[in-house]
Structure 1
Amino acid sequence: MSDCLFCKIRDGQIPAKVVYQDDTCLAFEDINPQAPTHVLFIPRKHIATVNDITEGDEATVGHLFTAAAKLAHQRGHDANGYRVVMNTNRDAGQTVFHIHLHLLAGRPLMWPPG
């Protein structure tokens, strides 16, 4: 998608603080962090919302979770806990329409989130 913010970050057209990357995904610091650790994991493939995930995308989406767990472990959050969340559409808080998994950690996280 030529107008997608996250595709532009993926392609290096917009700078981001990249903290993890591999052939399937890219992860970077959120510009408006809601916790001391707030990292966004995006698939390299453009998928607009969770509603657009197909059976062929299952490995890619699962990989986002394993990559997030790996980074949480590297940063020492696995013992105390962390949250991973993916918002779908505007009412759920999705503002960029390229799926992304939020990794939040480094402080107690309340439930429900609000």
Structure 2
Amino acid sequence: MSDWYCDELLSGRTTVEKVFEDDGVVAFWHTRPYYAHHVVVTPRRHVDSLLDCDAGTLASIFEVVRAVAGQLAADYGGAHIVTNLGKYQESKHFHVHVGADDEGATA
């Protein structure tokens, strides 16, 4: 299974522009953005997916997601918050996408 987050990001092999980091969570501008403004929030320790995440780690991640989404919503009128599971999860390391487009939120 592919784990870009452990193999590239957390190992330091790939450099990213970080938005936030502490001992448990990293948030950074996506290297291949889908949205005009696209941040990824992920735990530093390996967690396969949302379904495998303990409550403390989940709370830490979503505190950062809330702050990033709040800023994007203030700047662009809304934000997308997305995570994927199973066959929809390209990298098998829990992460949350927070994004906005210049024209604001869409359905």
TM-score range, shorter chain: 0.7 to 0.9
- The Cα offsets for residues 21-60 of structure 1, whole Å up to 9 and x where unpaired, read as 112100111122121211110001101122322xxx2111
Measure the CA separation in 2 of the matches of 1:76 and 1:52.
28
Q: TM-score, normalised by structure 1?
A: 0.76
Question: What secondary structure is seen at the aligned counterpart in 2 of 1:15?
Answer: coil
Unaligned runs of 5+ residues in structure 1 are none
Relative to structure 1, the CA distance from residue 81 to residue 110 in structure 2 (aligned partners, 3 Å threshold; closer, same or farther) is: closer
Letter in 2 for 1:105: A
After superposition, the C-alpha distances for 1:53-110 in whole angstroms (9 at most, x for unaligned) are 2xxx21111221210221233x4524722121110011xx210000001101134444
The size of the alignment, in residue pairs, is 104
Q: Is 1:4 paired with 2:15? A: no
- What value does the CA root-mean-square deviation take over the aligned residues? 2.2
| SS of match in other structure, 1:97 | coil
Name stretches of at least 5 consecutive residues in structure 2 with no aligned partner: none
Distance 2:57 2:94 in 1: 11
Normalization by structure 2: what TM-score? 0.80
Which residue number corresponds to residue 69 of structure 1? 66
Kept in 2, the 8 Å contact 1:69–1:78? The answer is no
